[in-house]
Chains A and B, each alone.
Chain A
Amino acid sequence: MTDQKTERLLNLTMALLATSRFLSKSEIFRNVAGYSGSTEAIERMFERDKDDLREIGLVIEVAPFDELFDDEVGYRIRSESYALNIGHLTPSERSYASLAATLWRNRMLHSSGHHALLKLSAIEGNGFGDDYGSGLITLENDSPHLEVLWSAIENRTLVHFSYSNPETSNRSLAPYGLSLWHGIWYVVGMDVIKNDIRVFRLSRIVSSIDSDPIKGSFDIPKDFAMKDYLVMLQERPPVLCHALIRVGRCNTLRMQGVVESVDAEWDRIEFAHQEEKVSELLWFGGDLILQTPEPMREALITLLKAKLATRNSSEIRSPGGDHE
C-alpha cells in the first residue's frame, strides 16, 4: 500500500511540475498512474494527496482551468516555487554552508541542517568543505525541549511544564519564539497564568513539555519582537577598575587590561569589569587587590568576611564522613 501511494505521489508531483499550464482533475486522473476506483474514492484520494504534498512543502497552485468557466479549477507546481533558487555557490560559500549546517547538536536543527546541505550539494555536486569540512564546529548547547517548543510555535499550541527558578512551579505558556541568546536557549511567550509575556530559560524546564492538542489557539501579537524582552537579560556595561596584581600572575586579566609596573612584587592594572560580577576577581585570590572603585572593593571585603564566617561554621570532614 505504501509503495502504491508513494509511486502515485511521485507521479503526481512530476505531472504537476512538468506542465506549463494548469491541469484539470480529469486530466490528472487519466494520465497519472495510481488513480483508480470509484469517482468518489479517486476524489478523496486526490484531496489527501494534495494535502500530503503540501505538508512536505510543495506549493500546488490552484486556478480556474478556463477563464470563461471558472467553476472548474486546474492545478500545477511552478518550477520557481519548487526548486532551490540560490544560484551558484562559491567554494567559500560551500565551506561556510558545510560548517553552518553541521554545527548543531540539537536533533531538530542538526537534521534540518543536514537536509539543507544535501540539497545544496545537489546544485554543486561533491566538493563541500574545500576550506572547512563539516562537523568541525559544534554548538553544545542543546535542549531536549527545542523540537516540541518549535512545533508548538508553528502550530500555535499552548504548552505546560514545570519550571525551576529556583523553586519549582507549573507554568502554561503560549510560546511566541525561541532564541539562542548569548549562548543560552530561551523561549519567550505569554505566560497564561500570569497573563504577561515572560522569558524562560530552557535549561530550567525540569519536566517534559505537554502540548495541547488544539492548534491555532493563540495569535502572536503583530508588534511582538523577541529582542525587546531578551534585552532585559542583558548585562550592565562594565566599569573602570584599578587593582594591584602580583608580578607574573593574573595572566588572563593582563590580557584584558593596561598594566604598569609598581615595584618588584606588584604591578597595577586598569581594566573594565562588571560591578555585579566583582566576586569573579577572587579567582586570583591573594594575587589581586582591588583598589577602585570603592563600592566594588567594599563588596569584595564583605563577601570575603561572609565566606570566612561560613568556613568557620562548617564541619570539616574527610571522605566517608569521618570526623578529623
Chain B
Amino acid sequence: MNDSALGRVARALDLIPFLTANPGLSIVEIAQQFDTTPLQISRDLSLLHMCGLPGYSHLELLDIDYQDPDYVSVADPQVLDKPRALTYLESLALVLGLTLLEELTNDKEELGKITAFRERLSQLIGDRRLNERGPGFELLSTEQAVKQSPYALTIAQAITRESAIAIEYTSATSDTHTRRLIYPRRLTFKDGVGYCEALSEDQQTYRTFRLDRITQIDPDESEQPQDHQSGIVTVTQSEPSQPFQILIPKEGFAFLETHAEIITDSQFDGQSYRLFLQVESGEWLLRTLLALPYPATVLAPLNWAKTFSSRLEDTYNLYLG
C-alpha cells in the first residue's frame, strides 16, 4: 500500500470508520486487512492520536485505544465515523463482479437480489459520471464474461460451509458419466468457462471439474477427509504428465495462446509450428487436435501418433461408408 503522505491519509480516513465499526481487532489483523505491516499501522494510529478537530484541546483529539496491540478500538471518531464514498474504480470492481454473479446464476430469486444490489451500486457510479457523459457510458464493462452455471453459487455455499457435494459429472475426455462425491475448494473462471477445484473422495487427489459438465448436484453431509486443510487449494496432478511433439500449421497460432501452460518449447519454420508439450492426458490431446479447424498431427510419442492416425482414418472411413 502507498506509504506516501497521501497514501497514509487515505488509509487513515478508512482506518477510523473501519475500527469504529469493528472494535477489538489486533494490530496484526488490521494490518492484514489494510495490506500493510503492523509497524505501519502502529505508526498510523500514533499519528491519528495527534489529530483532531480545530479548536479542541489536546484531550479532545481522536480517541483511539491501541495500548493493547491485540485490541484496538476508537472511542471518539469525531467526524471520521463514516466510511468514505467508493471511488469510481472501487464501485466498478464491485459492479462488474456482481454482473458476473448475475451471469452465473439462474435462480430467479437470487438473480433478483443480485440485480437489485448491482443497480443500487451502479447509481453511485452513475451519479458521479453523469456530469461527464450521459448514462450508459462505460469505460470498463463486462458482458457474458462467464457461462451461466446453475450450480456455481451452490458450490460457493458448499465451500463456505466446508461441506461435500455429490455431483453427476460428464467427462468429455473419457466420454463417461459418473456420480462422485467431492469437496469443493474454489471456483475459477477462465475465458468464460467455469471450473471447480475439488478434492475427489474417490481418488484422494485434487481434480478440476468443468461447471458446464456437472449435470446434477446434491449437498452431502459427509465429513471432510482427515488431511483436509481449509482454505488451502492445491491442485495436484492425478496423472503424471508425459512429453508430446505435435505439428500445427501457422494459422494455428491461437493454439499456442490458448494452451501456453502446457507448451515447453516451440519451433517455427515459417509454415508450421513444431510444439513440445507436457500433457497429463494423451486422450485429451488427441481429441483436441482432431477437433481443430486445421490439420494438426502428433509426431511423438509413437504409440500416440499411431493412435491419432488410426482414429483419423477410422473417422474418415465412416463418412465414406
Contact = CB atoms under 8 A, between A and B. Distances in A.
Interface of A: 2-3, 5-7, 9-11, 13-15, 17-18, 31-33, 52-53, 55-58, 79, 81-87, 90, 92-93, 96-97, 99-104, 108-116, 118-126, 129, 131-133, 135-141, 150, 153-154, 164, 166, 177-184, 203-204, 222, 225-227, 230, 249-252, 255, 277, 279-287, 289, 297, 300-301, 303-311, 314-319, 324
A10 B93 contact: no
Interface of B: 4-6, 8-10, 12-14, 17-18, 20-22, 33-35, 47-48, 50-55, 78-80, 82-87, 89-94, 96-98, 100-101, 104, 113-114, 117, 120-121, 124, 133, 136-147, 152-153, 156-157, 159-160, 170-172, 175-177, 186-193, 213, 215, 243, 245, 247, 249-251, 253, 257, 287-288, 290-297, 299-302, 305, 308-309, 311-316, 318-319
B90 A115 contact: yes
Given A56-B6, A119-B86, 8 more contacts: A31-B55, A57-B87, A112-B89, A112-B93, A120-B83, A132-B157, A301-B319, A304-B315
Nearest to A142: B190
Contacts of B104: 137
Contact of A57 (B33, B84, B177): B84
Contact of B313 (A85, A125, A303, A308): A308
A166 B257 CA distance: 11
**Most chain B C-beta atoms within 10 Å of own C-beta, residue among A6, A58, A109:** A6
6 contacts: A3-B47, A138-B189, A150-B140, A181-B144, A183-B146, A252-B172
Given A97-B94, A136-B186, A177 B138 contact: yes
Shortest 10 CB-CB contacts between residues of A and residues of B = A183-B192, A100-B97, A31-B54, A310-B295, A122-B83, A83-B82, A116-B90, A113-B93, A140-B190, A112-B93
A122 B311 contact: no
Given A126-B22, A177-B141, A311-B309, A285 B290 contact: yes
A132 B113 CA distance: 14
Given A14-B51, A283-B172, A285-B314, A307 B120 contact: no
Nearest to A9: B9
B87 A112 contact: yes
Contacts of B319: 289, 297, 300-301, 304
Contacts, number: 357
A177 B120 CA distance: 23
B175 A250 contact: yes
B96 A180 contact: yes
Nearest to B109: A92
A113 B153 contact: no
A224 to B, nearest CB: 8
Given A116-B91, A303-B293, A179 B143 contact: yes
B85 A57 contact: yes
Nearest to A31: B54
Given A101-B94, A140-B190, A316 B78 contact: no
A104 B94 CA distance: 10
A268 to B, nearest CB: 15
A184 B145 CA distance: 7
A82 to B, nearest CB: 6
Contact of A2 (B5, B137, B190, B302): B5
B190 A287 contact: no
A113 B90 contact: yes
Contacts of B315: 282, 285-286, 304
Contacts of B253: 164, 166
A153 B84 CA distance: 24
Given A6-B12, A123-B83, A141-B190, A310 B22 contact: no
Contacts of A315: 299
B299 A314 contact: yes
B12 to A, nearest CB: 6
B193 A183 contact: yes
**Most chain A C-beta atoms within 10 Å of own C-beta, residue among B4, B13, B54, B257:** B54
Contacts of B144: 181-183
A84 B93 contact: no
A306 B296 CA distance: 9
Nearest to A55: B6
B100 A18 contact: no
